[in-house]
Chain A
Amino acid sequence: MKQTPKTIALIGNPNTGKSTVFNALTGLRQKIANYPGITVERKIGTSIIGGVLHQIIDLPGAYSLNFKKLDERIAYQTLIGNFEFENTPDLVLAIVDASNLDRNLFLVTQVMDLEIPVVLVLNMMDVAEQKEIKIDVEAISNNLGIPVIPITAKNKNDIDRLKTTLADLDIPSTKPLEWLESFQLRQALGTIKAEWIDPHANLPESAKNTEALRLISEGTFDGAFYEFKEKGKGEEVIQKARSILENAGENPMAAEVLQRYDFIDNVTKDSLTQNNLNGQTLTDKIDAVVTHRILGPIIFVSILMLMFQAIFSWATPFMDFMDLVFIKSGTWIADFLPEGMLNDLLVEGAIAGLGGVFIFLPQILILFLFIYILEGTGYMARAAFVMDGFMTKVGLHGRSVVPLMSGFACAIPGIMATRTIENWRDRIITIMVLPFMACSARLPVYALLIAAFVPATSVLGIFTYQGLTFFGLYIFGIVMALVAASVMTRFFPKGTQTPFIMELPAYRVPKWDVILKNVFDRGWIFLKEAGKIIFAISIVLWFLASFPQVDNTDYAAHSYEGESIKSYQLRHSFAGKFGKIIEPAIEPLGFDWKIGIGLITSFAAREVMVGTLNTIYSIEGDDEDIVTLKQKLINDTNPATGKPVYSVATALSLMIFFALAMQCMSTIAIVRRETNSWKWPTAMFVYMSGLAYICSFLTYQIGSAL
């Protein structure tokens, strides 16, 4: 460790405090980015150890290098230097939970096979002590043949000690396959390596043993991430290797695992004393209430309601404040600069665009504050356990509930929250159906249309048609999300079977600095990565609604009676022309060109529809309220037929359209960021808008026929 800068990778099971170690080592010197082409985040930072700057990589949590999840594959590929432009790390710190040593050592024995120097970091020594687990650190080190450093990562002194110990350490490289005793398994492994991997597969030397073992246990090439030739021959060789084991009465799926645990038992035999592992702990006592058959769901729903309350009402003052800041600075610049195009571009394009990005921040921060607290205490896994049975009915995971429910406030934080879903397939499906949840941006549109076209007649005494329509639209959103999810689970390839085994970590008091840092990171990632797309589209939308510019003489000569200049401008802009062009396409839905324009401009955000209609109907200044607009909509008649433009059927059709269509550029932007590809946002836009078109068409046609 004394020499040149090195790349150090941290690996460990989930819930071993790996992130705490990473944060403590790197402080704020870290970067989060997506791995190229996939949804897994890569955390890289730097740390000065022994006066030398080292690069630290925080690998995703993994139970095994025989990967069953994308996260685990990424961890494995990084360790063997399989990612482009990356080398094998120079050192691996295997972070293990000292209170759970034997299970954690399984992964360590796998990492040791990769011929990378490994240092074992025994974390959570305090927890182990509480559980009266005694560990002879020196004996473990001797038995494993690697250095072992015991720490409690939340103690700053321990991190300093970890650094100085590392700085002084001479780290020998590990010997692979030390655990391997069985003659048959060794023979099977040798067969696959010699007859297939060596001649046909493009793999680094150090990864060949691990891959051979994976093929023996899996029995297929599923999940192979490297180039290879002669698949048929490979399958033959795998069968041959497996039959070596089978003929000796061993189970090829289990042989490796059982031997590793035999090895671990030998390592810990004289160095680990733990008794009464299955006794009642505080965690068990809390769980008896929190995961109770009846109390569990009640507690979960209460927490959800509190979250909603927070997102809806606590966020409002902050959102109003953001709004005010951007409006004020807009007015200030508008007054300060001479009138003209630059002024318009800055105020109505750029500043409005920035405002449209920042407005999401309060809800995102509040939601993630809740999520990280729930994750940090260990409750989130319990919530998933309680809800899983309900969610599997539509093919989703218990962890999908919180993101889906967050979608009622806004799809953006909801989609960001899907990262708590470990399984890739569950995560994508949750993202794809989440925008059906009736977000708060739909409220103004629903409110306007319901107030204008649904009678306030009461039903059954306490309800009104208006209230029922509102309720119906919310239920409609939920039902569509669940239906879409259960349809999608049929189309999604299962791929390699991802296990749904979930560990319930012991309850912990969350670390506030870690939570606040994570919350801050989420907000920053949103601003930086989704923000730039939202900003760019805002500018484009502003341009479409403002150009070509009209002049006052044209306005005086050609405007309708009572038409404002703003309305005239919008009607003659690209957006206005486009609204007219699409009129024939949206006519069967009951929409005219005015709604057409609104559909285009409301891509900035659904509630913009109301503002656009205000402009089109030349409602200005103090008149800009829902009552005036409501009257204008009711009174609007078609000049050709003399009939009202809007009927109840039109209003219902428009509401259905808003309930279903992908009318939100910010959602597109965040899906792009979270899935790291344009494929999913494109698919989302096409299927949701297509569905909206069909359902609105049916609504209007059936509605008008009745």
Chain B
Amino acid sequence: MPQFLSEITKPGSFKIKNLMGNESTRLMEMGVLPGLSLQVIRKAPLGFPIEIKVRGILLTLREVEASCIELEL
């Protein structure tokens, strides 16, 4: 069972396994690449967007983009 960022409910550190889907190009261009560590910082009041930290950069993603990122279990 692959685990996607969109399914994560609690803050924590993860490792990016893969990126897929239409939104993944921009994420990769912004430096979110397989193999890097990813921190889930928090979720917004209604669950999304989700705030993450990669390479020391804070990014917020909506559910569509979060579901592009597959994490290592």
Contacting residue for A64 out of B26, B33, B42, B55, CB 8 A: B26
B7 within 8 A of A: no
Q: Does A337 reach chain B (CB closer than 8 Å)?
A: no
- A164 proximal to B (CB < 8 A): no
Q: Which of B27, B28, B47 has the most CB of A within 10 A?
A: B28
Contact of B49 among A131, A287, A389, A505 (CB under 8 A): A389
Does B24 contact A253, Cβ atoms closer than 8 Å?
Answer: yes
In-complex Cβ contact of B55 among A102, A294, A392 (8 A): A102
Shortest distance between the CB of B22 and any CB in chain A (Å): 6
B24 touches A278 (CB 8 A): no
The answer on a CB contact under 8 Å between A385 and B60 is yes
Q: By the criterion CB–CB under 8 Å, are B29 and A106 in contact?
A: yes
Residue pair A103, B30 in contact (C-beta under 8 Å): yes
Asked if B70 lies at the interface with its beta carbon under 8 angstroms from chain A, I say no
Closest to A284 in B: B41
Are A504 and B45 closer than 8 Å at their CB atoms?
no
Alpha-carbon distance between A699 and B60 when the two chains are bound, in angstroms: 44
Across the interface, name the chain B residue whose C-beta is closest to A99: B56
User: Which segment of A181-189, A470-478, A494-502, A564-572 sits at the interface?
Assistant: A494-502
Chain A residue numbers with a CB within 8 Å of B8 are: none
B65 touching A499, Cβ below 8 Å:
yes
Please state if A291 and B55 are interface contacts (CB–CB under 8 Å).
no
Chain A residues, CB < 8 A from B30: 63, 103, 106, 501, 503
Once the chains bind, are B60 and A502 in contact (CB under 8 Å)?
yes
Q: Judge whether A389 and B37 touch: CB under 8 Å.
A: no
B25 to A504, Cβ gap below 8 A?
A: no
Please state if B51 and A385 are interface contacts (CB–CB under 8 Å): yes
Once the chains are docked, how many angstroms separate the CA of A283 from the CA of B22? 31
With the chains together, A422 CA to B57 CA distance in Å?
19
The answer to whether A258 and B49 have CB atoms under 8 Å apart is: no
Q: Which residues of A contact B (CB under 8 A)?
A: 63-64, 66, 68, 99-100, 102-103, 106, 131, 217-218, 253-254, 257-258, 261, 274, 277-278, 283-284, 287, 291-294, 296-297, 381, 385-386, 388-390, 392, 398, 497, 499-505
Residues of A within 8 A of B56 (CB): 99-100, 131, 274, 277-278
> In the complex the two chains form, what is the Cα distance from A514 to B23 in whole Å?
34
**B33 adjacent to A283 (CB under 8 Å):** no
Q: How far is the CA of A131 from the CA of B57 in the complex (A)?
A: 13
Chain A to chain B contacts (Cβ below 8 Å), 30 pairs: A63-B26, A99-B56, A103-B30, A103-B31, A103-B55, A103-B57, A218-B25, A261-B28, A274-B56, A278-B53, A287-B41, A287-B58, A291-B44, A292-B42, A293-B42, A293-B44, A385-B51, A386-B44, A389-B44, A390-B46, A392-B62, A499-B26, A499-B65, A500-B65, A501-B26, A501-B30, A503-B57, A504-B51, A504-B59, A504-B60
Task: Find B59's partner among A102, A261, A296, A502 (CB 8 Å cutoff).
Answer: A502
How many angstroms from the CA of A455 to the CA of B53 in the assembled complex?
A: 58
Indicate which residue in B41, B49, B58 contacts A388 across the interface (CB closer than 8 Å): B49
A274 to B56, CA, bound (A): 10
> Please, how many angstroms separate the alpha-carbon atoms of A501 and B21 in the complex?
14
Of the candidates B37, B39, B46, B65, which one forms a contact with A501 in the assembled complex, judged by CB atoms under 8 Å apart?
Answer: B65
Give bound CA distance, A284 to B62, whole Å: 20
Query: Could you tell me if B39 and A278 are in contact, using CB atoms closer than 8 angstroms?
Result: yes
A504 and B58 contact, CB distance less than 8 A: yes
Q: Contact at A501–B55, with CB atoms within 8 Å? A: no
- The distance from the CB of A427 to the nearest CB of chain B, in whole angstroms, is 17
The 6 lowest CB-CB distance pairs between A and B, nearest first, are A389-B46, A277-B56, A504-B58, A103-B31, A257-B28, A499-B26
Q: Is the CB of B59 within 8 A of A258?
A: no
12 further contact pairs, Cβ within 8 A, besides A217-B25, A291-B42? A64-B29, A100-B57, A253-B25, A261-B33, A277-B56, A293-B44, A385-B44, A388-B48, A389-B44, A500-B64, A501-B65, A503-B60
CB distance from B45 to the nearest CB of A (A): 5
CA distance A297 to B44 in the complex (A): 10
Tell me whether B19 is interfacial, beta carbon within 8 Å.
yes
Known: A297-B45, A389-B45, A389-B46. Is A501-B51 also a contact (CB below 8 A)?
no
B27 cross-chain contacts in A, Cβ below 8 A: 499, 501
Closest chain B CB from A285 CB (angstroms): 12
Contact A502 B25 (CB under 8 A): no
Name the residue of chain B whose CB is nearest to the CB of A279: B56
A278→B39 CA distance, assembly (Å): 8
Asked whether A66 and B29 contact (CB < 8 A) given A103-B55, A291-B51, A504-B51, the answer is yes
Most buried by B among A66, A254, A287, A293: A254
- Contact residues in A for B24 (Cβ distance below 8 Å): 253-254
Chain B residue at minimum C-beta to C-beta distance from A497: B22
- How far is the CB of A506 from the nearest CB of chain B, in Å? 8
Which residues of chain A have C-beta atoms less than 8 A from B43's C-beta? 293
Contact B49 A385 (CB under 8 A): yes
Contact call B46/A68, Cβ cutoff below 8 A: no
Contact of B31 among A106, A278, A297, A381 (CB under 8 A): A106
Are B25 and A257 neighbours in the complex by a CB distance under 8 Å? yes
A14 vs chain B, min Cβ distance (A): 11
Please give, as numbers and ranges, the residues of chain B lying within 8 Å of A103 by CB-CB distance. Answer: 30-31, 55, 57
A386 to B57, CA, bound (A): 18
Closest Cβ–Cβ distance, residue B31 to chain A (whole Å): 4
User: Are B29 and A388 in contact, CB atoms less than 8 angstroms apart?
Assistant: no
**Cα–Cα distance between A63 and B26 once the two chains are bound (Å):** 8
**Which A residues touch B65, using CB under 8 A?**
499-501
Closest Cβ of chain A to B51, distance in Å, is: 7
Contacts of B47 in A (CB 8 A): 389
Greatest chain B CB density within 10 A among A64, A106, A291 is at: A291
Q: Report which residue of B19, B24, B49, B61 has the largest number of chain A beta carbons within 10 angstroms of its beta carbon.
A: B49
Residue of B nearest to A390 (CB): B46
Q: Contacts of A278 on B, CB cut-off 8 Å?
A: 13, 37, 39, 53, 56
Provide the residues of chain B in CB contact with A254, threshold 8 Å. Answer: 19, 24-25, 28
Partner of A277, one of B28, B55, B64: B55
A388 touches B59 (CB 8 A): no
Closest to B46 in A: A389
Determine whether the beta carbon of A502 is less than 8 Å from that of B49. Answer: yes
Question: Given A258-B33, A293-B45, A501-B65 in contact, is the A68-B57 Cβ separation under 8 Å?
Answer: no
Given contacts A291-B51, A390-B46, A497-B23, contact A503 B31 (CB under 8 A): no
Question: Do B28 and A499 touch across chains, with their CB atoms under 8 A apart?
Answer: no
Which B residue's beta carbon lies closest to that of A264? B31
Instruction: Please name all residues of chain B whose beta carbon is closer than 8 Å to the beta carbon of A388 when the two chains form the complex.
Output: 44, 48-49, 60, 62
- For B13, the closest partner residue in chain A by CB is A278
CB distance from B64 to the nearest CB of A (A): 8
Closest to A393 in B: B46
Within 8 Å CB of B58, what residues of A? 283, 287, 503-505
Cβ contacts under 8 Å, B48 to chain A? 388-389, 392
